[in-house]
């Protein structure tokens, strides 16, 4: 049953956990080069995946792996270095957020950016979240221009 303040029926906490797990899975994929199915299977067996949004997790991971070259090309103009030289946690967060900005227009851009920043604070380098925030703010201004302009 949908709650009046959440008419979509989406559990934001489960979605956040799915994004955090997706960050870890994308990181693992970037570092290992394993097939996406193997990476997903590894994370599917983890205990707390049961309380995450498993469908969203799989969509994000598969989407990022499938489109990573296009996502990297979109992110590149807003970076101060080559994509491959970006810290792996920050790169994973940027790729996930770029995928969400492009493919999940039902998710407000501010939610996408906030989730990426929070995950980077949790798993990344000390000031990595400020870098991620700056890059994603510029990308959102390009890819979500009408929504971005309306919220300014």
Name the more confident of 104 and 150.
104
Condensed to tens digits (0 to 9), the pLDDT of residues 3-29 reads 334 445 688 999 999 999 999 999 999
Q: Which CATH superfamily is domain 12-151 in?
A: NusB-like (1.10.940.10)
Q: Is 147 helix (H, G, I), strand (E, B) or coil?
A: helix
**47, burial (CB in 10 Å: exposed 0-12, middle 13-18, buried 19+):** exposed
Report pTM. Answer: 0.90
Do residues 111 and 118 lie in contact, with contact meaning Cβ atoms separated by under 8 Å?
A: no
Q: What is the reported pLDDT for 45?
A: 74
């Amino acid at each position: 049953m949908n709650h009046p303040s959440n008419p979509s029926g989406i559990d934001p906490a489960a979605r956040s956990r799915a994004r955090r797990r997706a960050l870890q899975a994308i990181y693992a994929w970037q570092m290992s080069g394993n097939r996406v199915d193997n990476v997903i299977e590894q994370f599917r067996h983890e205990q707390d995946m049961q309380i995450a949004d498993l469908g969203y997790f799989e969509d994000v991971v598969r989407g990022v792996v499938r489109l990573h070259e296009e996502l990297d090309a979109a992110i590149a103009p807003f970076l101060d270095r080559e994509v491959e030289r970006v810290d792996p946690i920050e790169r994973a967060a940027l790729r996930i957020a770029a995928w969400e900005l492009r493919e999940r227009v039902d998710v407000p851009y501010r939610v996408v950016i906030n989730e990426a920043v929070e995950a980077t604070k949790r798993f990344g380098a000390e000031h990595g979240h400020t870098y991620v925030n700056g890059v994603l703010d510029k990308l959102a201004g390009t890819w979500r221009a009408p929504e971005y302009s309306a919220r300014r």
